[in-house]
Structure 1
Amino acid sequence: MPNHITNIITIQASEGRTAQEVIDFVKSDEREFDFNKLIPMPQEIIASFDTPGISPPWYNWSLEHWGTKWNAYEISVNENVIRFDTAWSAPFPIFESLHEKFSDFTFDIKYADEDMGYNFGHFEYMPGKTTSYSLPLEGTPEARVWVCSNVSGYFPEYIDENGNYIEED
């Protein structure tokens, strides 16, 4: 069973365009955010899904081309935000492909492992450049607080100084 990575993409459209253009582009009949819309899995790989073996072709292909073993799941989309989970790692090739396809948009991207305070990040694709933000050291209380506040959706007033959720009385 994988660690689930929560990914949040906030879309800022360029002048005269809308975030809905991106949302419509990445949507398929199967899901609200489909990696195949950006980096399509070849039909011969899809056909191998039922092939027995220790490392099926789809698995290696997905890791190499999407940066994670499965397509997006647990997806929610609203206005200009796409939130979804991936298995084991953030889908960096998907983020890069999205930026290439919509190079005049700004994409603010945050991701975090469910192992609170590890495997997390924040960067922004803007027209002509990428900015990576300085974050707390992994495994520290500050890292857990950052993840809780920025990705997990906890309100800061419900997080103690060690990054633990405070139950209401």
Structure 2
Amino acid sequence: MPNHVRNKVKMTGIAKLPIFTTATDEYTKEPYTFFDFNKLIPMPESLNVESGSTEDVAIEAVLRKIGKRRYGFLCKNYGLMSDEEYEKRKHGKTDEELEKIGLQYISNKILYGHTTWYDWHCENWGTKWNSYDNEQVDEDTLEFSTAWSMPEPIMLKLSEMFPDIQIQHWWADEDMGCNTGYREYLNGAVTYGDYNDNCSNDAYETYVECWGETACLYKDEDGNWQRHSCDDCHGCD
């Protein structure tokens, strides 16, 4: 599982902007609304295919049938399996089934520069998944989570789409004091702010802004945030 990064965005009227999608929770069957990155930077549907071991063996199947000369640009990373490894990794699929999937991966690579959603998300959204755990605090404030990192390309695109509205963005990794920051955007560009130094007062302050206060943090006599030693704190017990 990834580290969760909590994001807080303040933007006048954000709750009424056409950047949300309503879906149904697969477990509770209840509807929910989320900040949909596809509304800003749409992902081509053909990239919505499995990312993982199937990709390697499926492309291998195509290279074995068509030959490496036609798709030579793939040979640096694919087409290196022994016959024994290839048979082991087919997992019961026929060569024809794998070739069909493999051609889609290759087509995606040619058209979009990536074989699956995973690398495309990372490059174009700046994070592994779409937003999740959304909370509309008020009409001007949205909170949501992302995987591993904050969605920098999405924030820049949001500002580009609504250039006259100032955007404030705080983010903080669940790893307390690390991977935090604050930025302001206007007219499609960052106008102020950046990442905080890890375990600094600003980093802890931003963590509290995004995640709320915690027993692990306290303010010293100068009003700066500090972190308790886990040996002394026991706030997580």
- Give the TM-score normalised by the residue count of structure 2: 0.58
Contact 1:148 1:159 in 2 (8 A): no
Contact 1:3 1:113 in 2 (8 A): yes
| CA deviation map 1:89-142 (0-9, x unaligned) | 0000100110011111111000011111111110111347533337752124x2
Say if 1:153 and 1:3 are closer, same or farther in 2 by CA, change over 3 A. Answer: same
Residue in 2 that maps onto 1:29: 22
Residue 68 of structure 1 pairs with residue 70 of structure 2: no
Q: Distance in 2 between matches of 1:57 and 1:135?
A: 29
Residue 39 of structure 1 pairs with residue 41 of structure 2: yes
Picking from 171, 176, 200, the partner of 1:116 is 176
Contact 1:111 1:120 in 2 (8 A): yes
Contact 2:173 2:179 in 1 (8 A): yes
Q: Which amino acid aligns with 1:70?
A: W
Residue in 2 that maps onto 1:150: 209
Q: Helix, strand or coil for the counterpart of 2:130?
A: coil
Residue 5 of structure 1 pairs with residue 10 of structure 2: no
Say if 1:97 and 1:154 are closer, same or farther in 2 by CA, change over 3 A. Answer: same
Q: Distance in 2 between matches of 1:89 and 1:6?
A: 9
Residue 58 of structure 1 pairs with residue 53 of structure 2: no
Q: Which amino acid aligns with 2:135?
A: S
Say if 1:106 and 1:85 are closer, same or farther in 2 by CA, change over 3 A. Answer: same
Q: Distance in 2 between matches of 1:126 and 1:45?
A: 31
Range with greater deviation from structure 2 (126-135 or 78-87) = 126-135
Q: Distance in 1 between matches of 2:195 and 2:123?
A: 26
Instruction: Find the structure with the greater CA-based Rg.
Output: 2
Larger proportion of helix? 2
Contact 1:160 1:166 in 2 (8 A): no
- Give the TM-score normalised by the residue count of structure 1: 0.79
Residue in 2 that maps onto 1:19: 14
| CA deviation map 1:137-159 (0-9, x unaligned) | 2124x245313432222289x73
Q: Which runs of 5+ in 1 are unaligned?
A: 13-17
Residue in 2 that maps onto 1:15: none
Tell me by how many angstroms 1:26 deviates: 1.0
Q: Helix, strand or coil for the counterpart of 1:29?
A: strand
Q: Distance in 1 between matches of 2:188 and 2:38?
A: 25
Percent identical across equivalent pairs? 33
Q: Which amino acid aligns with 1:150?
A: E
Q: Which runs of 5+ in 2 are unaligned?
A: 24-32, 57-113, 221-225
Residue in 1 that maps onto 2:199: 139
Q: Which amino acid aligns with 2:139?
A: E
Residue in 2 that maps onto 1:163: 227
